Structure 1
Amino acid sequence: MLNRSFLVALSLAVLVGTASAETIRVAVTPGPHAQILEAVKPVAAAKGLDIEILEFSDYVVPNQALDAGEIEANSFQNQPYLDNQKADRGYRIEPVAPTVNFPLGVYSRKWKSWDEVPEGASIAIQNDPTNGGRSLLLLQDKGVIRLKDDVGFKPTVIDIVENPKKLRFVELEAAQTPRALDDVDAAAINTNYAVSAGLDPVKDPILKEDAKGPYVNLIAVRAVDKDKPWVKTLVDSYRSPEVKAFVLETFKGSVLPSW
């Protein structure tokens, strides 16, 4: 039987441990970002940081919530997207660490290869400048279209100067692109939304982005918080060997760790 003094000491230890734990709220999009953060949670908990995961189904709300102080961090976007959001909306948000890369893919339920896609086909792309531009750059990289010179990372359909197949572009919210597959010939879909829709980002794309460029995702926090101790704990926990092993084993090449 445990003696009374031991039980008192144990209770005090639990109380001290509970009091010293810090809780942060981190926004993610559903799918791989959420799955990876679930793997980060126990690593962070062992370091005294409790992570509350909040899922948002679009790319707009996580930065709004972060800038407003409703959450402490988010993990869902790449640097070009964050730069665009800051320029457009004046957000005081800073990246603190790169995380993983999700190579973008073009998917189709009507055609088994890009060569089968006919002239005049409809292609869904994202309607935000960063992701839509990324899709257009992928199509240019594969020789499908040609864009104006020096368009940077955010070209739009008006920057297309050569379109041999006379493709018709349908611009949709990024989260809606998988749902458009029955209505268009092909759709450019971000990997997290492809996975959520049951698509295989390794086998299913008829065109696929090379794993290169500036599109590595990142952890972002408010500028006023970037030097706080919990930020380092969050980053170290995310970029730990345990989480890297989880990413490699779980996603098998559809998501690539940056560390």
Structure 2
Amino acid sequence: MTDQISPPSDSDIELKKKSRWPWIAGAVVVVVAIVGGIVYATSANEDKPFGTNLKVATWSTDIAAEDLLKFITDEVAPAHGITIEPTKIDNLIEINRAVDAGTVAGNFFEHQPFLNDAIAANGFHLTLAAPTFTWDQASYSDKYRSWEQVPNGAKIALRDDPAGQAIALLDLAHDKQITLKPGKDTIKGLPQLSDIQTNPKNYQFVQVPIGQLARSLADVDVIVVHISDVYAAGLRENQIIAREPAPKGSEGGLVVSDKHLDDPNVQKLIATFKDPKIAEFLQTTDNELIRNTLGPINP
């Protein structure tokens, strides 16, 4: 979000030079001090080794990954000689920037296609070091109960980011609602709307930011999405018209900085997120939120 700054009033402009210059000089000193502190904090953290207490960030609205991280923190990490400190970050750029800068040891909210977008846009040096789970996919509607009922020309909402859009299109292709151009029918091809080859029912596609998808259901016929993207907003099983498997290559997991890959405690963190206890928990848990939205990675 861009902060809006009000233009100065006439009385502000008419400040006398004698009184204005001391304030300006003081402000410059403060700004230099603040900027210097930020630069120091970043440079001090990015190469600094971690101790055995490691912060791992989740995106603030992904409550399924947050619940899974709690299980890993309580039941898996102690056996690997580390303590995990879960941390919430509500900005999808800053959650990767925090890992890149060494403010946190890792994050636990994204798959490789989304990470690729973040790296390309921001120059981060990050690695998906431990794929851990899959996101269940689904198509939701308040008007229809199956794809067969969805009419020609229906409005279909999907995420507006390249990674989320690609997975939604692969879901639609899986459900035989569209076909994709050759080479664009896998997650590696990262299909976008321009890569649709056939659209037999002439669907109208609406691109929506991830945080607005659940609310957009009232204005469209169907949304296609990770279940965990909309679960916290109250969408439920009786609104699902089709479930789709997570495309191969879209597994979520632990992301760490390339600069810390050789850190012994980060290696312990990676081993923690690769522990087979996690897959067993995903298959057997009584936690309804996790059971309805996440799944283990198939070998």
1:159 aligned to which of 195, 200, 211: 195
Give the secondary-structure state (helix, strand or coil) at the position aligned to 1:176.
helix
Q: CA deviation at 1:220?
A: 0.8
**Which of 38, 41, 62 in structure 1 is aligned with 2:95?**
62
SS for the counterpart of 2:240 is coil
Paired with 2:79 and 2:245, the residues of 1 have a C-alpha distance of: 36
How far residue 60 of structure 1 moved from its aligned partner, in angstroms, is: 3.1
Residue 26 of structure 1 pairs with residue 59 of structure 2: no
Q: Secondary structure at the match of 1:106?
A: strand
The letter for the 2-side match of 1:90 is: G
- Name 2:294's counterpart in structure 1: 255
Q: Offset of 1:47 from its aligned partner?
A: 4.1
Count of residue pairs the alignment pairs up = 239
* 1:194 and 2:230 are equivalent in the alignment: yes
1:28-177, aligned counterparts within 5 Å?
28-29=58-59, 30-42=62-74, 43-45=76-78, 47-57=80-90, 59-151=92-184, 152-177=188-213
Greater fraction of residues in helix: 2
In structure 2, what is the Cα distance between the partners aligned to 1:78 and 1:130?
A: 9
Mark the structure with the bigger radius of gyration: 2
**CA–CA distance in structure 1, aligned partners of residues 133 and 91 of structure 2:** 18
Extract unaligned runs of 5+ from structure 1: 1-19
1:253 positional shift: 6.0
SS in 1 for 2:189: coil
Aligned residue among 206, 211, 215 for 2:241:
206
Partner amino acid for 2:271?
D
Q: Is the 8 A contact 2:282 2:296 kept in 1?
A: yes
Pick closer, same or farther for the CA change 1:123–1:61 going to 2, 3 Å: farther
Instruction: State the one-letter code of the partner of 1:23.
Output: N
8 Å Cα contact 2:111/2:128 also seen in 1: no
Q: Which runs of 4+ in 1 moved over 4 A?
A: none
Deviations 1:115-159 (A, max 9, x none): 111111111101111110111111122211122222343222122
* Residue 171 (structure 1) shift: 0.7
Aligned to 2:152, the other structure's residue is in SS state: coil
Given that 2:282 and 2:295 are in contact with CA atoms closer than 8 Å, whether structure 1 keeps it comes out as yes
Q: Deviations over 1:74-98 (max 9, x none)?
A: 1111112212322232210112111
Report the alpha carbon displacement of residue 110 of structure 1 after superposing the two structures with TM: 1.5
Asked if structure 2 preserves the Cα contact closer than 8 Å seen for 1:130 and 1:153, the reply is no
**TM-score normalised by the chain length of structure 2:** 0.72
Q: Deviations for 1:178-235, whole angstroms, at most 9, x for unmatched residues? A: 121111111112122232123346x653222224511111211110111212223223
Give the alignment's Cα RMSD to 1 decimal. 2.3
Identity %: 30
Alpha-carbon distance between aligned partners in 2 of 1:63 and 1:130, rounded to the nearest angstrom = 15
SS in structure 2 at match of 1:199: coil
TM-score scaled to structure 1, two decimals? 0.82
